[in-house]
Amino acid sequence: MILGLISRLKRWYAIPYLLICIAVSSQSLYQLFTDSRFSLSWLGALVAVGPLVLFMSLVYTFPYTRVVRFIAIPVIMALLGALLTVVEMRPLPTFYTLFFGLGGVLVYVFWYTYLDRSDNVLLKKGAYLADFTVSSLAGEKVSTSSFLGKKVLWVFFRGNWCPMCQSQLAHLAEEYETLRERGIELALISPQSREKSAQQQSRLSVSIPFYMDEDNNAARTLGIVHRYGVPLGILGYGHDTVLPTVVVTDESGKIIYVDLTDNFRIRPSVETIIASLDQAWIKLGCSVVGWNQ
């Protein structure tokens, strides 16, 4: 119940907060250019709130995967803005700076980006992947049993609306041949519509199989449903999605690698996955070349 409430609060946070920050930045600029005297308080409000607007705009315009847990520049600028605004302590810009600037960016970094996922006993190294069924872009039902005899990299992603997911998929496409050389099949799974996955597939440099998890049935089987994970204002995706999850299984369906990120901005790089698999394979007494055999 508590996790459900937290998820709802996070769903209501992102887009409304971004719109408020845009409004505060616009008002701060207006006041700086129209006030008869220069105001450190309004400059502080702009410095505190503006960088986060710019950061989020860049993320959605030029999607990329964050490899660090904390975003330094918006935090530093929010602190600098707070120092500027308290010099004059004008009530309105000071409130904007401390509440929407410093407070908002700290909430984003230390609360909003975390996924609040609980321990998952089904997705552990050495366990066998639970059986589930998904649909191909052609509409065919595909079960995990049809992948037996193959090494498979399963990637559960949230949808086209998520810039970190887009970056993750683009990186996988860049390293697709490296994975294939090791005999690894890819399966990209999301709860979004078949049409949206087809659009995402067309944007990649190679043709990687996409699958649709209708009503999050596979995610529910694996315990990785993210209730109310789609931000308010993102249309066409419902309100539930999947927790970003990466799993690698061997020919028998046994899990040999798993990443259950607790921060949606952090995804495992393909290099990290490959290095972990190579190391695991060497420990079994085989050469890396053996992946193809």
**Residues spanned by the domain of 103:** 2-112
CATH no. for residue 182? 3.40.30.10
* Residues 281 and 148 grouped into a single domain: yes
Letter string b/e over residues 112-151, b meaning 16 or more CB atoms within 10 A of that residue's CB? bbbbebeeeeebeeeeebeebbbbeeeeeebebeebeeeb
pTM (2 decimals)? Answer: 0.90
In a domain, 118, yes or no: no
- Looking at the predicted structure, is the pLDDT value of residue 69 above 70? no
3-state helix, strand, coil in the chain (%, to 5): 50, 15, 35
| Residue 15 sits in the same domain as residue 100 | yes
Q: Is 86 helix (H, G, I), strand (E, B) or coil?
A: helix
pLDDT of residue 286: 55
The pLDDT score that the predictor gives to residue 139 is 94
Confidence tier at 53 by pLDDT (50, 70, 90)? confident
Residue ending a domain, among 45, 80, 112, is: 112
- pLDDT-based confidence at residue 289 (cuts at 50, 70, 90): very low
Q: Count up the domains in the chain and report the number.
A: 2
Domain end among 57, 80, 112: 112
Please write the tens of the pLDDT for every residue from 139-169. Answer: 999 999 999 999 999 999 999 999 889 989 9
pLDDT tier for residue 70 given thresholds of 50, 70 and 90:
low
Residue 15: name the closest of 174, 182, 234 by CA.
Answer: 234
